[in-house]
Amino acid sequence: MKNKIREYRLKKGMTQQQLAEAVHVSTRTIISLEQGKYNPSLMLAYRLALVFGTTIEDLYCLEENMKEEEKKYEPKK
């Protein structure tokens, strides 16, 4: 899923290691999250949002991602 973790992390001047320690996960998990390969649990997403001082909606571009997902449910012509 598309997200702004890398963008926010760089804006805050944090390393992946520092962010990993702040949200109690491994650096590998942060890398995977930034690449959009792994979708976090609700609690991890909330922790990340708190660290960056934003909301989960904004961090995970939920509106945009939902529009993308809605396409799957559209009836096929």
Partner 1 sequence: MNPKSERNLIYVIVSISLLIGSFYAYTTKGYEMKYLIAAAFAFGLFAVNIFLYRKNVGFKDDLLENADERDLYIVMKSTQSTLKFMNNICLVFGVFFLMLYSITNNLLFMIVGLTLFALIVIMFITLLITQSYYEKNS
Site map for partner 1, 37-56, x if CB under 8 A? -x-xx--x------------
Task: Give 11 or 28: the residue with its C-beta nearer to partner 1.
Answer: 28
As a whole number of angstroms, the distance between CA 36 and CA 42 comes to 15
Q: Are the C-beta atoms of residues 49 and 55 closer than 8 Å to each other?
A: yes
Which of 4, 18, 2 lies closest to 54 in space, CA to CA?
A: 4
Q: Does 22 bind partner 1 (CB under 8 A)?
A: no
List contacts with partner 1 (CB under 8 A).
Answer: 24-26, 28-29, 32, 38, 40-41, 44
